[in-house]
């Protein structure tokens, strides 16, 4: 068993105003906490990992190939493998997302080694 507190999780940023923390990672999935500052913008992108999340705080507008989708607190979502997506917070205080990636994001794990 692995136990990690939010405070002890390793943080990193690959996009300005986006702070990531890998809470835990197993062989087949990874759990990440993402804090978006009010000015954060994650550009449209895709990856081989399935991505499931829930908005814990704030409101986020996801950009998809089918247009924008607004996600509010306590709302869950999923992006399938290679599905294009990006996002920006709509709330003045930014937003916090809890996300799971399967398989784990090797690129992110390499950053926090």
pLDDT recorded at residue 56: 98
Q: Is residue 20 part of a domain?
A: yes
3-state secondary structure of 75: coil
- What pLDDT, in 10s, does the model give residues 13-60? 999 999 999 999 999 999 999 999 999 999 999 999 999 999 999 999
CATH number at residue 45: 2.60.120.10
Range of the domain at 76: 10-111
How far is residue 3's CA from residue 5's CA, in Å, rounded to a whole number?
7
pLDDT recorded at residue 113: 86
Q: Is residue 78 part of a domain?
A: yes
Q: Indicate the pTM of the whole model.
A: 0.95
- What pLDDT, in 10s, does the model give residues 76-85? 999 999 999 9
pLDDT recorded at residue 10: 87
Q: Count the domains in the chain.
A: 1
């Amino acid at each position: 068993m692995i136990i990690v507190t939010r405070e002890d999780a390793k943080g990193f940023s690959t996009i300005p105003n986006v702070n990531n923390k890998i809470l835990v990672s197993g062989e087949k999935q990874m759990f990440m906490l993402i804090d978006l500052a009010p000015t954060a913008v994650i550009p449209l992108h895709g990856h081989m990992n399935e991505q499931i999340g829930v908005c814990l705080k704030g409101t986020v507008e996801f950009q998809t190939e089918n247009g924008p989708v607004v996600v509010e607190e306590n709302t869950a979502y999923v992006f399938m493998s290679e599905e294009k997506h990006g996002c920006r917070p709509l709330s003045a205080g930014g937003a916090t997302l809890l996300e799971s990636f399967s398989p784990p994001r090797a690129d992110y794990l390499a950053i926090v080694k």
